[in-house]
Structures are given as C-alpha cells and as structure tokens.
C-alpha cells in the first residue's frame, strides 16, 4: 500500500537530531508493548508481514503523528481483534469475558522458553527448489505496481532499473505472506545508481541497494 510508512525520498521531516546517551526505552509502557507484541506472537495467529501491515495500515496523518511504539500498540490491538483472540468489548473493558481455548493455551510463551525462542528466531528461508528468474549481473526493472495490500517494494524504486548484485536464495514472498500465502521466491540484492533514482543532480558515485523478490521485478 502507498502509505505514510513508505518514507524513502520524502522531504520536509527536518534534521535527524539524535539523542545523546539515549535509553533503550523512554517510558515503561514502551517496554510493555514490545514484550506484549513478542509474547502474543507465540499464538501463531500472524506472521511478521501481517504485523508490519497492521502497523503501516493507518491513515497517513495518524501514522506520522504516532511515536514508534504507539504504532506497535495500534498494530497489536488490530492483530488481536482480527485474529479473534480478543473482542472489541474486552479491549474496552480490559478484562477477559472468556477463557482461551485449550489449543491456544498450550502455545503461550513461558518465561523459561524465552531464551530458546529468541535465539531460534523465525524461519523466512524456504527449502523449495525454485528457479531464479534473474541472474546476478543482470539488469532488472522494478514493476510499476501499486498494490493496496502490503508490499516490500518501496515506491522510490518502482519503475526504476538496477543491477542484480546478489541472489540471497529462496524466501517466503513478503507481499503474499502478509495475506497468509506462503510463496517461495528468490530474493535479490539490486543496486540502483543514485542518479537512476534521483536524477542527474545526485552524486554519480553513490547508489542504493534494495532487497527485492522475483515478484517485484522484470528483465530490463
């Protein structure tokens, strides 16, 4: 979706203004929403692309006004409601109207499982033997697609040509994974010159590397 999250190349946001000696969290609630989000994921009701979509799928003005962890809160509430793990009434009241079904209760992340679950991580690589559609060194163009669903092809590369620098292997295609479909595709690192993306005023030496799937590209 062409949302406010797709920020690459926009103007007007001002200086970066990094905070000196910044703490990991600025408020207690930030720690809590991070932990709630990670723990709720153990229910297995959504994947990382669905959670990214839940966060980015907000009215642009709201997305930009939210702090980072406020957007995590918005995303988690949405995921829990859409998955049917909680009801709208429960969300308002803050207390449970019924118990969790037994099959889900078995999935709850326990404290002693945390180190193993975090160190194992997620599985994005797929073992499927899928042929690569593009070769390293080949020239590709990013499709000029504007899907209303989740996509990991940022707007600033669409329609532009680059060179395949690496084939990272076969991964689950994020755009489809956000809709619950596991499609194995090659992911490539594609190099775009800064002048291809931003015009002749850009520095001729500079460039941007973007990871893109088969489904984002065509031969150029």
Tell me if 126 contacts other proteins by CB under 8 A: no
CB atoms near residue 28 (< 10 Å):
7
User: At a CB cut-off of 8 Å and minimum separation 6, what does 6 contact?
Assistant: 56, 154, 155
Among 59, 60, 62, 93, binds other proteins (CB under 8 A): 93
What is the Cα–Cα distance from 154 to 147, expressed in whole angstroms? 11
What Å distances lie between residue 198 and 2, 12, 163, 188, 201, CA to CA?
19, 16, 16, 21, 7
Among 103, 129, 131, 205, binds other proteins (CB under 8 A): 205
DSSP state of 125: B
Rounded least distance, CB 139 to other proteins, Å: 18
Q: Are 168 and 152 in contact (CB under 8 A)?
A: no
Tell me if 99 contacts other proteins by CB under 8 A: yes
Q: Which of 107, 82, 86 is nearest to 97 (CA)?
A: 86
Tell me if 203 contacts other proteins by CB under 8 A: yes
165 by DSSP, 3-state: which? strand
CB atoms near residue 209 (< 10 Å):
11
Tell me if 136 contacts other proteins by CB under 8 A: no
Rounded least distance, CB 172 to other proteins, Å: 8
Total interface residues for other proteins by CB under 8 A: 94
Q: Which is nearer to other proteins, 138 or 207 (CB)?
A: 207
Among 44, 84, 88, 120, binds other proteins (CB under 8 A): 120
Q: Between the CA atoms of 3, 4, 8 and 12, what dihedral angle is there, to the nearest 10 degrees? A: 150
Rounded least distance, CB 152 to other proteins, Å: 5
Rounded least distance, CB 65 to other proteins, Å: 11
Q: Which is nearer to other proteins, 110 or 131 (CB)?
A: 110
Rounded least distance, CB 97 to other proteins, Å: 9
Among 44, 88, 103, 119, binds other proteins (CB under 8 A): 119
Among 59, 62, 105, 139, binds other proteins (CB under 8 A): 105
What x-and-dash track marks residues 18-57 binding other proteins by CB under 8 A? xx--x-xxxxxx-xxxxxx-xxx--x--------x--xx-
Q: Which is nearer to other proteins, 24 or 131 (CB)?
A: 24
3-state helix, strand, coil in the chain (%, to 5): 35, 15, 45
């Amino acid at each position: 979706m062409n949302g406010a999250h797709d920020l690459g190349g926009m103007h007007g946001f001002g200086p970066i203004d990094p905070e000196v000696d910044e703490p990991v969290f600025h408020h207690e609630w930030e720690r809590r929403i991070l932990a709630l989000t990670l723990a709720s994921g153990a229910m297995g009701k959504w994947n990382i692309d669905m959670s990214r979509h839940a966060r980015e799928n907000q009215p642009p003005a709201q997305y930009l006004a939210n702090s980072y962890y406020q957007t995590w809160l918005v995303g988690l509430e949405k995921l829990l409601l859409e998955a049917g793990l909680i009801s709208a009434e429960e969300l308002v009241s803050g207390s449970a109207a019924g118990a969790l079904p037994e099959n889900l209760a078995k999935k709850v992340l326990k404290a002693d499982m945390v180190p193993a679950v975090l160190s194992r991580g997620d599985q994005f690589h797929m073992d499927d033997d899928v042929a690569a559609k593009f070769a390293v060194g080949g020239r590709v163009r990013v499709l000029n697609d504007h899907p209303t669903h989740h996509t990991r092809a940022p707007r600033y590369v669409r329609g532009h040509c680059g060179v395949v620098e690496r084939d990272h292997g076969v991964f689950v295609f994020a755009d489809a994974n956000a809709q619950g479909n596991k499609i194995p595709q090659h992911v490539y690192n594609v190099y775009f010159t800064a002048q291809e993306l931003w015009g002749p005023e850009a520095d001729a030496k500079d460039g941007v590397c973007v990871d893109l799937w088969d489904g984002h590209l065509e031969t150029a």
